[in-house]
Structure 1
Amino acid sequence: MQAETLRKEFDDFIRSDEFPCVGAKAALARGTIDFFAGEHIDEARDDLPLYKALTAFGKTLDNDAPFVQSFVAAFSGPTDLTEQDFEKALWNRLQALHNIDAATGHEWTEGVDSDASSPHFSLSIDGQAYFVVGLHPHSSREARRFSRPILVFNSHEQFEALRADGRFDKMKDIIRERDIRLEGDINPMLNDFGYGSEARQYSGRMVGDDWQCPLAVQEPEKTLENHD
């Protein structure tokens, strides 16, 4: 699938009345969504280009801005992944991004925990902390059900700034009201930062208390130069 077609399909999905996230709608309207188009989410061929695109996005983040900025990694396929298969592919891609980050010498971002079981965990890439939202065709949650596999990277620091001035809670209440109208209830996996590990939420799959995040945190290399 061509990148332009994939982007249009995603934009139409965000604009639809059925999609509940008002933050994403506002970001789309403001033109503050960076978009990366890849091939297969269950393959490694796009890992380095994706890493470079995500780090470039991170350098443009204005965490004091009064609006959401997001980075979207969209993959043309596969479109037949089960929830478990999508979750595995998601964590394989995040593991690969982290491995590149560690190999280029980056420490985990200050202010968030590298332990994925911690309630203060967020993914760290190139000095930025991210909350990741996965979408795919066979998600059990309609709001996470898109025709192609998608990874959305949202800035942790930006959302903390929105939380500090009260805008995040207002946005969250609107999203949950819309989610109830769409699904009949709010996503039982959702917790605010500091109240349970956010890693449990990334794939959108309902997981039990015994679920363990597969991310293996690597020590940063001190001898390699950063990628250009």
Structure 2
Amino acid sequence: MEIEKRFKNWILQEDHPCIMAQTVFSQKAFRINNYGELGDVNNVRKLLKDINHYVENYDFTSNDFQTLIAVFPDSEITCEDEFELLLWKQLSDLARADNKTWDAEVSNDPENENFSFSLGGRAFYIVGMHPESSRIARKSPYPSIAFNLHHQFEKLREMGVYHNVRDKIRERDKNLQGSINPVLQDFGERSEARQYSGKATEEEWTCPFHR
């Protein structure tokens, strides 16, 4: 599969700064699915079904992590602003179609510092990626969304390695690009919604999320 091959090369052969991504790909603990065009309402049902399957089959007792990557190879992204709007349209459509209750451990208000996206009853940290990203670490072969369960970050805290992993990733990102992404902050300090698209957001930025 060409899409999977290009992603594996980007993460492993090009030494991606996210060591968690490298671990997941090295252990083949990922799923990559093609959903056509980003923001297309016709892909919502299939994507939501795959997310629910991912949640239902995830082993929450294990220390092994998995990730689901939705790829949209039919989308021609021209700039970061376009990607951001399409990303949030896709997420908004998914939220409207989801019949599960928002994860009670996080806020559903994107302006709240405890906000995290929720699908299938579980909180997710969303990583938007695309070829036109100004951040090298987000400059993926295709427009894509990585769905990472928030549980995984809590598991890292439980294991006592969260801060070491976080600092290592940020150090590698800085070595790659000369700086870390200025929007990066720990959960609870500021809404993580600002981080999802990967672009730097202005202070007056308003999240284009619609439930």
Structure 2-normalised TM-score? 0.95
- Matching residue of 1:223: none
Q: 2:142 matched to 1:148? A: yes
Q: 1:98 aligns with which of 95, 98, 106?
A: 95
Q: Deviation digits for residues 48-83 of structure 1, max 9, x if unmatched?
A: 101101110011222332232111001113233310
- Contact 2:10/2:141, CA 8 A, preserved across alignment: no
Map 1:78-93 → 2, pairs under 5 A = 78-93=75-90
- For structure 1, which runs of at least 5 residues remain unmatched after alignment? 218-228
Q: Does 1:165 align with 2:162?
A: no
Other-structure match for 1:25 = 22
Aligned counterpart in structure 2 of residue 58 of structure 1, from 43, 55, 58: 55
Q: Using the alignment, how far apart are the partners of 1:73 and 1:63 within structure 2?
A: 21
1 CA distance for matches of 2:6 and 2:181? 24
Give the unaligned 5+ runs of structure 2: none
Cross-structure match for 1:178: 172
The one-character-per-residue Cα deviations of 1:132-155 (angstroms, maximum 9, x if unpaired) are 001101101011001210100101
Q: Who is 1:226 aligned against? A: none
Residue 16 of structure 1 aligns with which residue?
13
The answer for the alignment partner of 2:187 in structure 1 is 193
CA deviations on 1:74-112 (whole Å, 9 max, x unpaired) are 1113233310000011001101110111xx3x2111110
| Distance in 2 of aligned mates of 1:141 and 1:16 | 18
Aligned partners of 1:210 and 1:63: how far apart in 2?
37
CA–CA distance in structure 2, aligned partners of residues 135 and 145 of structure 1: 6
**Is contact 2:131–2:139 with CA below 8 Å preserved after alignment?**
yes
Q: Look up the match of 2:111.
A: 117
Number of aligned residue pairs: 211
Q: Does 1:202 align with 2:199?
A: no
Alpha-carbon distance in 1 for matches of 2:113, 2:61: 24
SS at match of 2:209: coil
1:146-196 alpha-carbon deviations (Å, 9 max, x no partner): 121010010112211212322221211111111011000111110110010
Q: Distance in 1 between matches of 2:20 and 2:64?
A: 8
Q: Residues 22 and 132 (structure 1 numbering): CA distance in 2 closer, same or farther, change over 3 Å? A: same
Inter-partner Cα distance in structure 2 for 1:90 and 1:165: 32
Look up the SS of the partner of 2:56 in the other structure.
helix
> 123-132 or 42-51, which moves further after superposition?
42-51
CA distance in 2, matches of 1:63, 1:184: 36
Q: Secondary structure at 2:55's aligned position in 1?
A: helix
Q: Which residue of 2 aligns with 1:138?
A: 132
**Conserved in 2, the CA contact under 8 Å of 1:79 and 1:147?**
no
Q: 1:19 Cα shift?
A: 1.1
Q: Alignment RMSD, CA only?
A: 1.3
Structure 2 Cα separation of the partners of residues 57 and 107 of structure 1: 17
Residue 121 of structure 2, aligned match among 107, 124, 127: 127
